[in-house]
Amino acid sequence: MFFSIMGTLVVYLLSITFLDSILDVDFIFDYKSILKTLFLAIISWLPFYIYHVFKYKCYPEETDKLNLIEIK
Amino acid sequence: MIQQADVGIGLVGKEGLQASLAADFSITKFKHLSHLMLWLGRLSYKNTATISKFVIHRGLIISFIQFIFSIIFYNLAVPIYNGVLILGYSTIYTNIPVISLLLDQDTGFKNVMKFPTLYKNLLKGRELSIKAFLWWFWKSLFQASVIMIGAVIIFENIFLKIATITFTVLIFAELLNVYSEVINTLFNFSLIKLINFIIFIYF
């Protein structure tokens, strides 16, 4: 999973250099726009992740309970 | 009988191969049945359901982005992303992480074999129910709205760079979604460790 996510990021960043007629490449690599972009991505994802963690902690599924027992 | 069933499992016996040839799955020993159903069948169902939900989400979010783009910019009937970006989005940019969900395991082999009742929960069909579909529908709508409206609020001179900004956010958001859905991550990877690693490399 880790390698697939990192691989996709690398593929995206490499491929956009070839797509300079479609995307503004200099703008993407500007650190301010990177921060803003990441901020937006996290804002759109975080509520669902918090819900996911809340569900895992408060109402775990049977397999989650078994996994916890196995770890202990 | 084996062909009337939803899924036929045939056993290779001394009497011949008739049953196993007519079946969808063929096993050589009866003891392999529990492994086939409780482990392989269960994982296959769960992972296929998760991938289906991701594919639905992937298609819906881009439709909602287009819809919101048109509303924000005076009902402009122009596609926000051109063909190359759409092609890249549905192939190289999002395929590998989604396929990596196939390798996910919600619990270990020993647990599944020890507690066969875990299989029983799948019979309720909650993994791909209407409720699950509506949840992912809502997730797509919310994320598309945040991406489009957030981009308009945060960035200046948005119109000329709208495709660049929203497409990059879309890729990041999709990768984060995959991260939060995967249960058993490879190498016990966590977001905190990644952040620590980036801070370490940067300083």
Q: Tens digit of pLDDT for each residue in B5-59?
A: 888 888 887 777 777 788 888 888 888 888 888 889 888 898 899 999 999 999 9
- Total domain count for chain B? 2
For B164-191, what is each residue's pLDDT tens digit? 889 889 988 988 888 888 766 544 445 5
Task: Note whether B113 and B53 are same-domain residues.
Answer: yes
Cβ contact (<8 Å) for B176 and A45? yes
Nearest CA in chain A to B147: A40
Distance, in Å, from the CA atom of B186 to the CA atom of B43, rounded to the nearest integer, reads: 17
Distance from CA of B165 to the nearest CA of A (A): 7
Domain containing residue B183? 31-202
Residue B27 DSSP SS3: strand
Alpha-helical (H) ranges within chain B are 18-22, 32-34, 42-72, 83-90, 95-100, 109-114, 117-120, 130-154, 158-181, 191-202
Instruction: Return all residues near A66 (Cβ < 8 A) that are at least 6 apart.
Output: B107, B111, B115, B118
Which residues constitute the domain of residue A50?
Answer: 2-71
Considering only CB atoms, B147 lies closest to which of A24, A44, A47, namely A44
8-state DSSP, B92: T
C-beta atoms of A44 and B111 within 8 A: no
Work out the minimum CA distance from A37 to partner chain B, whole angstroms: 6
Name chain B contacts of A3, Cβ cutoff 8 Å. 186
ipTM of the prediction greater than 0.85, yes or no: no
Residues of B in contact with A70 (CB under 8 A): 108, 111
Q: How many domains does chain A have?
A: 1
User: Do B52 and B8 have their domain in common?
Assistant: no
